[in-house]
Every structure is written in C-alpha cells, then in structure tokens.
Structure 1
C-alpha cells in the first residue's frame, strides 16, 4: 500500500463523522445568507483582479516597474495564505462574529491605505493589510457554511460560493477598467472598501454568530499544531485539498500572466481585457451548477476526476498555442481550463471539509493556506520565467494539472468503497469508516 493510500485510510485524531454531534439540525440558509457567503468568499479575488487593468496607469503615475507590480500581487497572496492559519483556530475558539467583522474592518483600512498611497511602499503596505482582512472573510465563508449546512445543502452552498469566488476574478477586471476610465486607479480601492462595509452590514443583519460556545475548541499552541498536523496526515483532507490547491495555483498564474498575454501579446486595451475576463464567467457558472448534479448521478470523486482531466486537457491546449497565440485559440484553451476548474473546485472542497465539522475553521484555514500558497507560487513562476507570458503560463498550467491529478488519484481509487455510501456532496451523513 502506498504512503498516500495509508494516509487516506489511516486513523485520524480528528472526528471521524461528517456531522457535528453538538448540532442536531442545520439552520435554514436563506438567499441573503448565500449572497453574504459568496461575497465573503469573493472579496479576496475581487481585490486582486480589479486592479489588473489599472497596472499601466499606476506604473505611469507612480513610476512602478513590472517587478514592483508583481510584488503587489505576491505580497497579497503570501499574507493571505499565512493569515488563514491564524484566523481558523481563532474562529474555532472565539466564534465567527468577531473575526468576520474584524477582518472586514481590516480589509477596509487596507483599501483606504492603497487609495491614498503615492509610492510603492504605501501600496505594498496597504495590500498586506488588505490581505490580512480578506483572509478572514475567505476562511470564515467556508466555516460558516459548514456551521449552517450539512450534506446536500453544504455541497450546494459551497458550489455557489465557489462560483462567486471564480466569477469575481472574471468580472472584476471589467469593473476595474471602467473605474479606471471614469475616476482613475484609486477608485478601484475605494470600491472594494465600500464592498467590505456592505458585507459587514449584511452580516450583522442576517447572520451573526454561528459557532456556539459549547461547540468551541480550546486555543493553545500545542492544540493548534496538533489539529493542523492531524489534518496534514489525514488523506481524507490532504489529498483533495492539494488537488484543489494546485488547480487554483494554475488559475492564479493566469491572473498574473493575463495582462502580458492579453494586452502585451494580443494587443487588447484594458477595457477589452476586462470584457474578455467577463465572457469566461459563463463557463464557470455552467460548471459550478453542473458539479452537484453530476455528483448526484456519478459520484463526487468520479465527477471531480472528470473535472481534473478537462483541466489538464485545457492546459495542454495552452501548450499547443503558446508559441503563437491568437485571441481565439487562447480563449478556447482557457475556457476548457475554467470548465474543469468549475467542476473540481466545489467538489474537492466539499470532500476535504465534510468529515471535519468540529474543526471546520481550522480545516478551512489550512485549505485556504494551501490554496493561496499555491496561488503565490503559480503567480510568481508565471511572472518570473524567462519566456513569453503565454509560454510561461502554459508551463505552470501543465505542471499544476499533473500535480492535481496525482494528488486526486488515491481519492478516486478509494471510490468503489466510498461511493457505495451516498456522495458527500448530496447526503447529510458520512460513514464512520470513510
């Protein structure tokens, strides 16, 4: 038996049940709550991609180099990744409310710092503060969903929040280009600050605390380390989490390379680049809505594997067109990539989180750390390679697809035993021997 399979089947120090024994039933999840969770999940990617069309204007006004512009992305991703490791255990100990509101307030402050910055140091400082707040909203969107939902409802809500997380980077460049044309690059930061304030008000009115005192864990460095270690050696969490994270790393490498490919190589204007991003959103919508339906029919692991194969096929398509891309060939390959991502992202997330109700905050935090760490690596590699942006992107995408498939293979091999039980995304129960 392989090490991966041993990890997948081995004992865990974490609860073996998919339901939290401290909760007898899940609360009803209304439309406004789903909107709130989607907004919390999308805030970080919104803040990242809305500034991409502003890069030429920022560079001209502040004298920023391409490397310095890249730092605005990588500093955000790195802070985002590390911050989640702190937010998750804090929310498991003290509840979600204080962390949600504190995170949104921190994000708002960082956005104001960026909007008023007149040099690269001020921008980087603001981006770091932004990321400290955004990491809380991202972690807690998943944790609150796990607090409120189970089984089929959890899968559906996670699917919608994952769609929002993918749609935000699709529409935000278009929105950013309009804001830049109307009011300059600082308007993008003002807009995301207003979004944070609106989310805080909606949270206060519609949700409030979702993690009751009797369900909270203790907070001690040893306990935190034990929880993370238990998750990292438990293949039920680690393998699907790694797979989803590598897919996200490939996606964020596209975000980093997009200005160079679309505006540099293909000659699009900032507005045209924004429209191009927005046009791909329908692909993510379609895949995100299909994911739970296909999982109901074929099983979540089979559907997830299909998504990864589609993602890999799109990555190979990018390799095929990398040397001489045209708008048509490049966007065709990208559309295939996004469809595959839209299938695996919600399913892989649900598979990773479902068994760990009592540690939902920590599990969500570690998943977010892996995702944003992968995003930082992918975006850095796509920017730093000594090739054209399209070639660099194709290399990173292909590597991400190979790694994601390798990580998911043991999860899929376990499918005959697991999928004798109902899919984790459509049932409210996970067998104790899962």
Structure 2
C-alpha cells in the first residue's frame, strides 16, 4: 500500500511571527486543564488539613475535575460547530476564571468540589477547541506541526506545574495556586481575542439532539476517525498513568524528596519536547502512517521494558530509561495521530475534537485507576498498564493501515 506521504504538504511551512503567536495561544488554551489539575498535587496534604478532611477525600477534587472535563467536551464541540469558536472559548475562560476564584475562597470540601466543577466546565471548552481551532487553521503537515507544539504545551503543564505549585504553596499557601490559574485564564482570554478570534468559517452544523447524535454516530462509524483517535487515547491513558504512579515509585519506593519529584516531572518535558520536534520532521518525510507506527513501536518497547525493570531491576536509572522510550513514542503518536483523526472532518472539527478529548480523558481516568489497583507495587502496576495500553494501541492502528485507502 502506498504510504500517506503523497497526501501531506512536504514543503516546510515558513514560520512567521504571526504563526508563532497563534500556536502559542493555542498551546495556552490546551494547557489550561492540565495546569489546573497538576499544580495542586504537592498541596493535597496541606489542603486536607486546611479543609479538615483526609488527603484521600481531597483527592476527589481531581477526580471530579476529570469527570466533568471529559463529559463537558461532548457538549462544547457541537456548540462550537454551530455557533463558532469565539464565544465558546471566551465563555470557557470566564467560567474557568470564576471557578478558580471560587476554589481559592472555599472553606470546606463541598465548596472546593463545587468550584472544581465550575473550573472543569470552563477548561473543557478551551482544551477541546484548541484542537478544533488548529484544524480550522491548518492542514496536512502544518496541522501535524501545530499539534506537536500544542502537545508539548500539554506535557509542559503537568511537567512543570507540580514544581510551580510546590513553590507557591511554600511561599503563599495552596490558595495562591488557584489565584495563579485565574490570572492565567484572564491573560489567555485577552491573548485569544488579540491573536486568533473566530476561525470557523465553514458550514455550520445545526444544534439539536438528533443532529448531534448523528454527528457522533457518523464519527464512530468512520475508521478514519475511530482508529487514530482510539490509538491516541490509549497512549495518553498510559501517560496519565505514568504521572499518577511516578510519585509512588519515586517517593515511596525510591525515596525521592518532593522537590526531586518536581524536578523529575520537569525533566520529562524535555523528552516530550524532543519527541514533538522529531514528529514534525519525520511526518513530511515518511508520512503519517509510518511515523505513527514508529512511535507506537517505541511506546511498546518502553512499556515492555518498564514491566521488565519492575521485575528484575527496580531502580531509578532503568526506570528512567524505560520511561524515556515510552515518552518518546508517546510524543510522536499523540500529535500525528490527532492530526490524522481530525484532518478529514473540517465541518465537524468541533465534534471530532470533543469526542477525541472525551476518549482521552476517559482513558486517562482508567489508566490512573488501573495503575493504583493492579498491584501494590507501583512500578509493576505501571508496567502492566503501559504494556497493555501500548500493545492494544498498536494492534488497533494495524487495522487502519490495512483498511483505509491512501487518499484518506
């Protein structure tokens, strides 16, 4: 079968200051949700003491956020396909800002959870529409390049935010973290209006339950969407499992300090950055199919290596090596698979992005749960989850390579 290279613009796009600003704003939109979640991780014990609950109870602030974040995307996507991107994005920033202020002022756990629900309702709009806006503006290799940079921002937010959150908590207390993300939302809204504005100029899809159901049904029946979207979602589920298990592996098993843990998370961003840059170079040369298959191979090798390390050499350097190989593969698969899933659906970009985002967050929740439930040994549980998710993703993607015509 002829590879997809012929369908991709192989000429490198000329990077202008305008393009850089546009992608920077899109990255800010995409990072809002992960920033609001991971910045809290170092402060969970302090939050529990302040709100007079257990640390396990206050962790529900993350679970609630992820649940609303996932479900809300299914609504925001079709709304943006009908009314455009501008007002849903601005409304999302406003709602997120209000929820952040609410959380900062919370005096008990129910108040905090209510604020987190509001936060997530706003964040789901900015996150899902970052991908839809990218699809509005770019195609082919340019879309893959934009998705790679957006993915780097999404990885940077959970990578650096625990370190930032720990510093803020130490200096000003945990409430300052919510103040910071509120300011971030306000600046993001201003930047969006100044740099992007409305980008959805194609046919508007009617907004009614039947039309929405038909749109989602048509996407679920289309292998061009389902296979790459499911592949990306499984790999992202593995990434979130890694983030959730890393504190148990490094602090409890390998006796890292919280600051060392923060530095470790920050270091993972460098690997993801390198993978994203590599993805933008190999996709025009080898095509999306072969590039994604290469990324899946790396992710699977890193996952199996993680499982082997957990059994035979549960120490830091082997753990770091296995994790780095997985992250390299993830950093290639995520942007290229996302571009491949969204490219054929310009008029449905909002709904397609919403369904993709929903699957990603649901797989993230499943991955986090499995990493905690499979075994008391965190590294072994992580190896199992990564291996299963990566191998299933590779198997699913093999179906696409055999069944989808080159022109798609």
TM (norm. structure 2) is 0.92
Confirm or deny: 8 A CA contact 1:104 1:134 kept in the other structure: yes
Structure 2 residue 298 is matched with structure 1 residue 310: yes
Tell me the SS of whatever aligns to 2:345. coil
Task: Give 5+ residue unaligned stretches, structure 2.
Answer: 1-6, 9-15
- Higher mean Cα deviation, 133-142 or 70-79? 70-79
Tell me the SS of whatever aligns to 1:30. helix
- Higher mean Cα deviation, 254-263 or 287-296? 254-263
Distance (whole Å) between structure 1 residues aligned to residue 319 and residue 52 of structure 2: 31
Provide, for residues 339-392 of structure 1, a one-character-per-residue CA deviation record: whole Å limited to 9, x for no partner.
110000011001100000010101111110111111111112223445132222
Question: Which residue, out of 150, 174, 184, partners 1:161?
Answer: 150
Tell me the SS of whatever aligns to 1:322. helix
Query: CA 1:259 to 1:127, structure 2 compared with 1: closer, same or farther past 3 Å?
Result: farther
When you count helix as a share of all residues, which structure comes out higher? 2
Question: Which residue, out of 355, 363, 367, partners 1:378?
Answer: 367
Query: CA 1:64 to 1:328, structure 2 compared with 1: closer, same or farther past 3 Å?
Result: farther
Confirm or deny: 8 A CA contact 2:141 2:283 kept in the other structure: no
Question: Which residue, out of 214, 226, 229, partners 1:226?
Answer: 214
TM (norm. structure 1) is 0.86
Structure 2 residue 308 is matched with structure 1 residue 300: no
Task: Give 5+ residue unaligned stretches, structure 1.
Answer: 1-16, 19-26, 419-430
Tell me the SS of whatever aligns to 2:331. helix
Provide, for residues 182-232 of structure 1, a one-character-per-residue CA deviation record: whole Å limited to 9, x for no partner.
1122221111111111100101112111123x6211111111000000000
For these two proteins, the number of residue pairs brought into alignment is 395
Match of 1:11 in 2: none
Confirm or deny: 8 A CA contact 1:147 1:211 kept in the other structure: yes
Question: Which residue, out of 310, 332, 356, partners 1:322?
Answer: 310
Structure 2 residue 193 is matched with structure 1 residue 216: no
Question: Which residue, out of 223, 230, 235, partners 1:235?
Answer: 223
Question: Which residue, out of 396, 399, 416, partners 2:388?
Answer: 399
Distance (whole Å) between structure 2 residues aligned to residue 164 and residue 127 of structure 1: 22
Confirm or deny: 8 A CA contact 1:74 1:380 kept in the other structure: no
Distance (whole Å) between structure 2 residues aligned to residue 153 and residue 336 of structure 1: 26
Structure 2 residue 402 is matched with structure 1 residue 413: yes
Question: Which residue, out of 75, 86, 103, partners 2:64?
Answer: 75
Distance (whole Å) between structure 2 residues aligned to residue 189 and residue 332 of structure 1: 34
Q: Displacement, 1:28? A: 9.8
Distance (whole Å) between structure 2 residues aligned to residue 364 and residue 29 of structure 1: 24
CA RMSD in angstroms, aligned pairs only: 2.1
Matches within 5 A, 1:418-433: 418=406, 431=407
Distance (whole Å) between structure 1 residues aligned to residue 216 and residue 64 of structure 2: 24
Distance (whole Å) between structure 2 residues aligned to residue 63 and residue 385 of structure 1: 30
- Higher mean Cα deviation, 338-347 or 383-392? 383-392
